[in-house]
Amino acid sequence: SQTIHQWPATLVQPVGSPLSLECTVEGTSNPNLYWYRQAAGRGLQLLFYSVGIGQISSEVPQNLSASRPQDRQFILSSKKLLLSDSGFYLCAWSWASGANVLTFGAGSRLTVL
């Protein structure tokens, strides 16, 4: 079976510091990978998605970037955090084709002070 891991679970960072959130998927190959942000416990905003190693699509221009150095690894980064980067970040994966369900990780809560 497939599992998705996300870490760290919580993070408190000062403004201007760097960020790295990591997500890995086990039990599958060539998944589509996604990063979403949820602000204030409400709607999900699609940030990035990837259909293969090194292939990143950015949905919202902002202070964040994503990378996919390995098939089942997806990293969300920032060089300098802003207060507005605070939120709940969710990684998800799906099979590459068809009407497949998105499966989410447990999430990473980021607080920027």
Partner 1 sequence: AQSVAQPEDQVNVAEGNPLTVKCTYSVSGNPYLFWYVQYPNRGLQFLLKYITGDNLVKGSYGFEAEFNKSQTSFHLKKPSALVSDSALYFCAVRDSGSGTYKYIFGTGTRLKVLA
- Residues forming the site for partner 1 (CB under 8 A): 32, 34, 36, 41-44, 46, 49, 51, 57, 59, 88, 90, 92, 94, 99, 101-107, 109
Cα separation, 28 vs 19, in Å, equals 27
Beta carbons within 8 Å of 97's beta carbon, 6+ residues apart: none
Q: Smallest distance, Å, CB 28 to partner 1?
A: 15
Q: Which is nearer to partner 1, 8 or 15 (CB)?
A: 8
Q: Smallest distance, Å, CB 108 to partner 1?
A: 10
Q: Which is nearer to partner 1, 19 or 49 (CB)?
A: 49
Q: Which is nearer to partner 1, 82 or 102 (CB)?
A: 102
Q: Smallest distance, Å, CB 44 to partner 1?
A: 4
Helix (H) / strand (E) element for 61: namely none
Q: Which is nearer to partner 1, 44 or 53 (CB)?
A: 44
Q: Smallest distance, Å, CB 10 to partner 1?
A: 9
